[in-house]
Amino acid sequence: MPEKVRVRFAPSPTGQLHIGNVRTALFNWLFARQKGGTFILRIEDTDVERSEARYETQLLEDLKWLGLDWDEGPDVGGPFPPYRQSDKMGTYRAYAERLIQEQKAYYCFCSAEELEREREQALKEGRQPVYSGKCRRLDPVEAARRHAAGEAGAIRLKIPEHPIRFHDIVRGDVEFSNEVVSDPIIVRSSGLPVYNYVVVIDDADMKITHVIRGDDHISNTPKQVAVYEALGLPVPQFAHLSTILGPDRERLSKRHGATSVANFREMGILPEALMNYLALLGWAPSGGDREIFPKQELIKEFSLERVTPSPAVFDTEKLYWLNRHYIKQGPPEKTHQLAESFLVRAGLLPNALDAKASAWAGRLVDLLAPYVNKFDELPARAGIIFRYKAADAVADPANQLALADGKAGDVLSAFQARVAADDYRPTAEHFKAIMNEIKTKTGAKGKELFHPVRIMLIGAASGPDFDKLIPLIEEGSRLTLPVHVKSVRERAQEFAAAFQPKP
């Protein structure tokens, strides 16, 4: 019977979840889901100094937001606990002692200064700065005596005399000469185990079959393989994912702007869009002519063999494109709710909406959504509804040309008079009728007719269709909102007062 796939995502809670790490999580998850295997979440917090509980909480939330779930983890448990390294120190200790017993590891009493000197010397002579192996030759009995006497010493693993090779699903066979691999320290003199050692124990204990991680670990892999071999544990398959770069082709980092899951969520990027985009970064389906992959499709199509080994530049524009796509495609209720939360936060909508206001807000979102890449742009876009000021419209340099047009003055005064009249009805139909009247009366048509009116109503010559805009403005003006929406009549009046047509 084929072994069931078990993969893990093992972040360290030392900051916000970086986009490169989420992609690693995603690929692990996709692989597990596709194979019907197990996806495990494990917290790597041997770096107790920098690890913080609040980051761990956020980590779980960010992963869930993206749409990932895990079968085993610190919060849900599982058959191979603990799922947090800091709860497991005794195990690491025990394995290390076993390695010493079997003489596969040894105490090293070299001081930090001594090692540093050797390193510099080697570098100066153009040699590989590997550990000399001085303490490797120490008599084990003597070493044990010194250790027992309280002398501080680290534990080093003996690297075998043969080259270390391993198979990488993404890159094929990789081989490292043993001459470039030092005997690695697996337990510090302080007693704290080292990452490259701990990770192997954890992966082995949890019966991980495929290690999918960033390619910055590729050079660590020989050391880890050596640990597996020393312990007599089965070596898993590896798959090293390429680095995600910024536009300047340097590793994507904070100075490139938004790089954490939380950042993207706050910007109003939909999780579906982020997942789809991340999947396309370093992976493509056969044929390569499809871009839209909802979650279920990804699970169906994903394959580790098709992951590309070359580094990829993060392209915000394509992310935005996917985000716009999912905004358009998504279920309206969900989109509305999310979008409205951004307007609420901007103080444009109240926290609680009654049915009427809610319907109105939904239409507002529908009207503005085609104009935004992400929802945090919505409040600014909603300015045409909420922040109308005639004085600004009149003063805006972009509007001067349209307002200076010969017929603009006639059109505007006719419009204002018509809107102020008693028989004005705040509907799209009546608006259309008025526009036709004015067209006949002034002889203005096309741009010379519509542009001045649009400037009068929203402060810009271009914007959404009047058919949708007019009812939205009129109905909004009758709602009780944190910011009053000025009606068409109010706008026209205010504008007429502010605007002196040139003779």
Partner RNA sequence: GGCGCUAUCGUCUAGGGGUUAGGACGGAAGAUUCUCAAUCUUCAAACCCGGGUUCGAUUCCCGGUAGCGCUACCA
CA distance 395 to 410: 19
Crossing angle (nearest 10°) for helices 408-420 and 488-498: 140
Least separation in angstroms between CB 204 and RNA: 17
Least separation in angstroms between CB 268 and RNA: 15
Structure tokens given for 197? 């050692």
CB atoms within 10 A of CB 481: 20
Least separation in angstroms between CB 35 and RNA: 20
Least separation in angstroms between CB 318 and RNA: 4
Whether residue 257 contacts residue 281, with contact meaning beta carbons closer than 8 Å, is answered with no
CA distance 41 to 56: 11
Least separation in angstroms between CB 323 and RNA: 10
Whether residue 322 contacts residue 273, with contact meaning beta carbons closer than 8 Å, is answered with yes
List alpha helices for 206-354, DSSP H. 221-231, 261-267, 271-280, 295-301, 316-329, 332-345
Considering the complex, state which of residue 194 and residue 275 has its C-beta at the smaller distance from RNA.
Answer: 194
Least separation in angstroms between CB 30 and RNA: 15
DSSP per-residue letters across 371-386: G-SSGGGHHHHTHHHH
Contacts of 39 (CB under 8 A, 6+ apart): 7, 8, 9, 28, 29, 32, 33, 68, 69, 70, 71, 72
Considering the complex, state which of residue 340 and residue 448 has its C-beta at the smaller distance from RNA.
Answer: 448
Q: 254 an active-site residue?
A: yes
Considering the complex, state which of residue 312 and residue 338 has its C-beta at the smaller distance from RNA.
Answer: 312
3-state SS class at 463:
coil
Element (H, E) at 141: helix 140-148
Q: Which DSSP symbol is given to 84?
A: B
Instruction: Name the active-site residue from 4, 64, 134, 254.
Output: 254
Considering the complex, state which of residue 69 and residue 315 has its C-beta at the smaller distance from RNA.
Answer: 315
Considering the complex, state which of residue 309 and residue 443 has its C-beta at the smaller distance from RNA.
Answer: 309
Structure tokens given for 246? 């910024």
Q: Letter for the amino acid at 421?
A: A
Considering the complex, state which of residue 70 and residue 431 has its C-beta at the smaller distance from RNA.
Answer: 431
Give residue for tokens 């269709």: 465
Catalytic residue numbers? 254
